[in-house]
Amino acid sequence: MKSRDTLVRLHRFQVDEKRRQIAEIEAMIADFRRMEQELDQQILAEQERAGITDVTHYAYPTFAKAALDRRNNLLRSIEDLELQLNEAKEQFSEVYTEFKKHELMQERDQDRKREELEDAEQAELDDIALDMHRRESVTG
């Protein structure tokens, strides 16, 4: 019984850890997407200022090129994070399933123990009632 409690606590901890990991990855993706949008705006502003939108043009603004590189790096990072997110969600599903299995077994153990206790209490009450009935029969 104690080992089952320990397993349930362990799996609950793992479920919580996976939830935190998923939340962290989602937050990072959101931050990177926000940064990507800001870079897009900066690139457009720089292109409008220079009047050149062709990246291959010799006079294309250096700042815009650097911002494009940063944005492309962010996009690759977002792709990597999305892969990590999908993997973390799969792991969460597995850990959650295992947690629920052990939690249900723990509940079943508790129900069985409660029933045994109730049966023992009922047997004790039955013995008391039987003793009282015998005493009444002897005195009656």
Q: What is the mean pLDDT of each run of 10 residues along the chain (140 residues)?
A: 80 95 98 97 95 92 95 98 98 94 87 87 86 79
- CA–CA separation, 53 and 68 (whole Å): 12
| pLDDT value, residue 22 | 98
Quote the pLDDT of residue 140.
Answer: 60
The pLDDT tens digits of the residues spanning 108-125 come to: 888 888 888 888 899 888
pLDDT of residue 67: 96
